[in-house]
Structure 1
Amino acid sequence: MKKLDNINTKILQLLTEDSRRSYQEIADTVNLSRSAVNKRINQMIDDGTIKRFTIEHTLEKAYSILLIKSDGCNCDIIFDKLCSIKEDFIFESLYGSVDSIARIATIEHCRLYEIKNMLMQMAEVEEVKTLPVMATHVKRSKK
């Protein structure tokens, strides 16, 4: 990785803010042509300055886990019901003491209670436990 000049630093800043930003928009901001920006970004990829382009979603911020025990129904029914909520969520069917887990992008207790009650009104749902996540630790393997 080589030392960054002011323009590459600005390009990195813009991409960090929005990795989907168009090369033309970056070019307009740093007063270069689109092809010059393309060349600089490709060089930063080649020399390892840029390792990957990624997104940030709300589930990396504050979220809660719902543990859902059902009567053995197809979990798609529960997923379909959860699709009516406004919050982003990830839903997974499980095998074990609970049948599904939902990571919901909220830690607001009142909202969790509303979602829990909505699910508990379903004949197929036996129990819902809500667990607001206080901290997340991630270990990623080197590639």
Structure 2
Amino acid sequence: MHIFDDLDRSLLSILRKDGRAPLSKIAEILSVSRATVQSRLDRLIESGAVLGFTVRVHQDQEADMIRAIMSIEVTGKSTTNLIKSLRGIPELYSLHSTNGAWDLIAEIRAATLADFDRVLRDVRETDGVLNSETSILLSSV
């Protein structure tokens, strides 16, 4: 497991704001060499701390997307393996651990009802999922 230090946290903060920031610009902001930034980024990716780089789209551009929140109950102590499996489903936009009756909360974004149905089935058939409940998000208020 990767232990984050202040430099790692600062690097991740910059990348959250601009995942396309040039390494040389990041190095300048952090007052370190470009090689240090590259080394740290490589280590964060290799350790799994950074899962990838993505585009954040303005909500208006995804107006036709089907969005939902899925609550997931995990069997036994299989949470770590289940999370690894669920990360392979691209329509799971975000995944969070939580307390209470449910173990995980997933945000789903799917282009069509058929895709949405497939995602629900894929999650429910994943080893380690005991139960789930899904609510479609109808509008933002």
Say which one has the larger Rg.
Answer: 1
Instruction: Give the TM-score normalised by the residue count of structure 2.
Output: 0.48
Higher percent of residues as strand: 2
* TM-score, normalising length: structure 1: 0.47
